Chains A and B, each alone.
Chain A
Amino acid sequence: MGLTDVTSDREQAAPAARQGHPTRQSKSGAEARSDAIEITNVGKAFRRRLSTASVEALRDVNLSIRPGKFVSFVGPSGCGKSTLLKLIGGLIEPTSGRIAIGGRDVTEPRRDIGMMFQTSVLFPWRTILENVLLPIEIFGLDRQAATQKALNILRLVGLEGREHAYPRELSGGMQQRAALSRVLMTDPQIILMDEPFGALDEFTRERMNLELLNVWGERGQTIIFVTHSIVEAVFLADRVVVMGTAPGRILSVLDVPLPRPRSIELMKSPDFARIVFAVREHLGVAR
């Protein structure tokens, strides 16, 4: 896994200054809170049910992610990208190696990390507003005070007027917007997204990508975005982590030095096509 080491070194060497990001405001305080994520020699094996044999989901993963970066994980099914996401989120523990955020080992879930899944995971017995307020209730914060914030976020993601609808009454895209709103409620410094738009149609997915970039541009969280779409991975990210299977591992890490803010027009550019092709080639090596 020499490639992995080389690329994580490259990340460390990269200049700290963020380029082409006019909408980002470093004074917002969100960035001061952000911490780097350090993944060192991480492996994860799952015990197979009714068997002593175990399946190696991840082997020797090394990666460091600087605060405020947008990083995509792309790879085929079974490459362990979702597992890696859960490891970072503290939902599962690594079999070997360590994961640290801001120098502190991750051993359990943290409330300053938000998660989004392929399904919206909205509770059908709660209205959209009530779903968005769920984290506030769980944190034991003042619901009344948070309601105005929730309404603002719902307006930001284009769900104004649907606050009192039930999830069932919303389209798939709108449901994911609500799920995004729920994540934003807690102002997480890191957002982990597991194929959040994977179940949406192409048009909705593109719109959601742009809206996600807008939200990120305003708040500057660290976003880790798992996808199986190469185009989506490149379009969104500062860096694309290419993963392979059997065992799940990092094949390479590619920088995406495309200007921001990004629009759909960008997909026409030769630079974009070149990076997409490069990711494809690195994935091809996975055989």
Chain B
Amino acid sequence: MRNTKTLLLEVAFVAAAGLIFALAANALSPRGLRLGRNYFPGGEKLSAAAQPVTNATASPAGAAPGNATAATIQRLQQRGLQVIPHNEVAALFRDPSFQQGLVVFLDARDDDHYQAGHIPGAWQFDHYHPERHFPVVLPACLAAQKIVVYCNGGACEDSEFAAVMLRDAGIRPETLFVYAGGISEWTTNGQPVETGARLSGQLLQLKP
């Protein structure tokens, strides 16, 4: 009996000390999460359409990996977001208004993915670290007539959360569009990507 009590006290000590250690380490880590922030605005509860694509839940036969599925489009519409198809994104990319800053592309992925290849001229807006990007992205979005947000495509939801965050920050909803096919649909269709920083000039044509 005494032995069990001693063991339970030890468990309680490990639990309490471990929790304090964990919270302190997270607070001190530069990569740490902020406990009070909602990282999934409008998507706290996972929708059926948000299930990840694994090798066990592969896309329907014949579907390109980046193509937006009907479920994804339905989910976007439920969140009050406008969807833009690939052909319109490609047309906007070649439109002179893109060079004039009236069309803005936002890459909602993390640093590694952005550096590895983004739509040429796209700004990075990783909504998990908005403080890093808001100072440059917000003025660009406020001046734009069309904002196209994208991430990897497929089951990736980061573009949606980024768009919701921008909408909540005061960007007019009618200017916001989510390119659900994302970078995978972009490259599958033979479009160029830019590596490194924005306007680095290092263009790549990835083979589909």
A and B: partners?
no
Residues in chain A within 8 A of chain B (CB atoms): none
Residues in chain B within 8 A of chain A (CB atoms): none
